[in-house]
Amino acid sequence: MRFRFDRSTLAVLGLLAVYFSVSIPVYLTHTLFLHHWLVWNVFLATLPPLFAWLFMHCRVKGLRLALAALWLLFLPNAPYLVTDLIHLAHLSFVHWGEGRALYPWLTLMQTGISMFLATTMGLWSLAVMHRAIRNRAGSAVGWISVSLICMASGFAVYVGRFLRLNSWDVLHPLRTLERILQHTDAFALQFSASFGIYILFTYCIYFAFRAMPRQQ
């Protein structure tokens, strides 16, 4: 396995370093749990692009399959951050008068940056795996696979947000499956399908912009 750190990779690592260097002190000095969740969830969102990047540079078939499985397992952590927006409801956003405060707006900005960072990392990793599937099995199979992955990720986001299960709960498969089956109802399917479509639509936007010709 050979690694190449090009300028884009170094730029991403630099941005992540800046994000965590600012967010971790906030995490340590504020009691609002939103800051705690954001730092932890962004960390989890770095795992899909890490596994996708390793997948790109790996030439060992068995190891590539393991990396692909780990990527798929942790991919839902990237779009999951969108659901953290619900925690902003506890803050008071005053537009005028003496009650105005900067803290809620800074929290909004941190949440937005966290969400955008996690989403971009997840979409980039999905593009890597999409290209690998497309190169091996063709365009149609590639898009069908992407659609199924997005739907599965939508269901995983439901499992994480509402059942409070995590990626590593697969280490307890019977207990996890039993809990999922107990709480899979009409709302679960509706939410999962809706969120899966959301992920697929954001990926289509990302894919379309990546496909635009660059000025020479």
73-119 pLDDT tens trace: 999 999 999 999 998 888 888 777 666 788 888 888 889 999 999 99
Mean pLDDT of the chain: 90
What is the spatial distance between Cα 51 and Cα 67, in angstroms, rounded to a whole number?
Answer: 6
Domain boundaries defined on the chain: 7-211
Give me the pLDDT at residue 36, please.
Answer: 79
Range of 7-11, 56-60, 179-183 with top mean pLDDT: 179-183
- Encoded tokens for 86: 């619900």
pLDDT of 53 reads 94
User: Residue 138 — left, alpha, or beta (φ > 0 → left; ψ -120 to 50 → alpha)?
Assistant: left
Give me the percent of the chain exceeding a pLDDT of 90. Answer: 64
Distance CA 49, CA 208 (A): 19
Q: How is residue 57 written in tokens? A: 């540079």
CA angle, residues 206, 210, 213, in degrees to nearest 5 = 145
Average pLDDT over residues 128-149: 97
Ranges of beta strands (E only) in the chain are none
Q: Is the pLDDT of residue 211 over 90?
A: no
- CA–CA separation, 54 and 70 (whole Å): 11
153-166 per-position pLDDT tens digit: 999 999 999 999 98
Distance (Å) of CA 176 to CA 72, 165, 166, 193, 208 = 17, 8, 10, 21, 37
pLDDT of residue 65: 96
Per-residue pLDDT for 140 more than 90?
Answer: yes
Q: How far apart are CA 186 and CA 181, in angstroms?
A: 12
* Predicted confidence band of residue 2 (pLDDT cuts 50, 70, 90): low
Residue 30 Rama label (left phi>0; alpha psi -120 to 50; beta): beta
User: Model pTM?
Assistant: 0.89
pLDDT band at 177 (very low <50, low <70, confident <90, very high): very high
DSSP, residue by residue, 71-133: HHHHTTHHHHGGGGGGGGGGS----SSTT--SHHHHHHHHHHHHHHHHHHHHHHHHHHHHHHH
Q: Is pLDDT of 216 > 60?
A: no
C-alpha separations of 140 from 19, 56, 117, 134, 145 in Å: 37, 21, 29, 8, 9
Q: Which of 41, 18, 17, 39 is nearest to 29 (CA)?
A: 39
Q: CB–CB of 90/187 below 8 Å?
A: no
Task: Give percent of the chain with pLDDT exceeding 70.
Answer: 94
Q: Measuring CA to CA, which residue among 53, 57, 64 is closest to residue 126? A: 53
Query: Using an 8 Å Cβ cutoff, are 128 and 56 in contact?
Result: yes
Predicted pLDDT of residue 79: 97
